[in-house]
Amino acid sequence: MLLAIDVGNTNTKFAIWDGASWRAQWRASTQTTRTADEYAPWLSQIMAMADLSFENVTDCIISTVVPQALFNLRNLSRRYVGAEPMVIGEDGLKLGIDVRIDKPAEAGADRLVNAVGAYITYGGPAIVIDSGTATTFDIVGADGAFEGGIILPGINLSLQALHDAAARLPRVEIRDPGRVIGKDTVSAMQSGIYWGSIDMIEGLVRRIKAEYGAPMKTIATGGVASLFEGSFSTVDHWDQDLTSRGLLEIFRRNGGAL
């Protein structure tokens, strides 16, 4: 079985592929100081709840946008899986796509993995919207190439900044307040973040499509995306397994077999 690890700025996702399907997926907060020996008992116990163990796992692939987390996760794979992990972005690892931006080395590992996952699942051209610590819009070409995109603050980050910068504004839950015009501070903030995020994303999707000049599919993924499922007219597919699917494809492209 394959252990696929996707490290984001806020959460780290662990997923198990058994050769035919994703057996289980879990999220943990990203902590750069957590050692391999601290990860192992937590992961071992949660795997046991799915009738899995480290003995079932033979391979590992890691994507991370937090370089400080890589050392301990690499050791987790070496000590407890017994395998040298494939790491997105390291020399010799083939993604199988062209990166058509001015500075290819600056493309985030998560964005490239999402591009691979989107192309093999839905084809191209496509827009991948990933809602997490940052909200990113990534453009996948007709041939699967990564062609750039947009990066902006994520929804939770925007809410946190609002709370921190304005003394009388509280932390609020992200949800549909039921109307656009808020009648108190909380509902006004919820309306702003909920409908503001929807209109911002839909507006940017329309601008991307107009500039690109060809029909494009739109795929939404990421930890926050599920809060908005069904509220967008511009999203064609909601796919929480997109990154894991991209990691599996890259594993296969580099000789991995299960």
Write out the catalytic residue numbers. 110
Residue 26: phi and psi, rounded to 5, are -140, 155
* Among candidate residues 150, 158, 147, the one with its CA nearest the CA of residue 190: 158
pLDDT of residue 89: 87
pLDDT-based confidence at 161, cuts 50/70/90? confident
% helix, strand, coil for the chain, step of 5: 40, 20, 40
pLDDT in tens, 102-138: 999 888 888 999 999 999 999 999 999 998 888 999 9
**How much is the pLDDT for 82?**
94
- Reply yes or no on whether the pLDDT at 246 is more than 90: yes
pTM, 2 dp: 0.87
Q: Token pair of 75, please?
A: 């050791």
Higher per-residue pLDDT: 122 or 154: 122
Q: Which two tokens stand for residue 30?
A: 């990203």
Residue 136 gets which letter from DSSP? Answer: E
Choice between 119 and 225, residue whose per-residue pLDDT is larger: 119
For 27-46, write each residue's pLDDT tens digit.
Answer: 999 999 999 999 999 999 99
The top-level CATH class assigned to 2-87 is alpha beta
Strand segments, DSSP code E, in 82-238 are 86-87, 126-131, 134-140, 146-153, 217-221, 237-238
Domain ranges of the chain: 2-87, 104-245
pLDDT at 225 over 90: no
Return the pLDDT at 197: 87
Average pLDDT over residues 237-248: 92
pLDDT at 163 over 90: no
Provide the sign of the torsion angle of the four alpha carbons 104, 107, 110, 112, taken in this order: negative
Q: Domain 104-245: give its CATH code.
A: 3.30.420.40
Mean pLDDT across the chain: 90
Same fold, 2-87 and 104-245: yes
Beta bridge mates, 147:
none
User: What is the mean predicted confidence (pLDDT) over 1-21?
Assistant: 92
pLDDT(12) > 90: yes
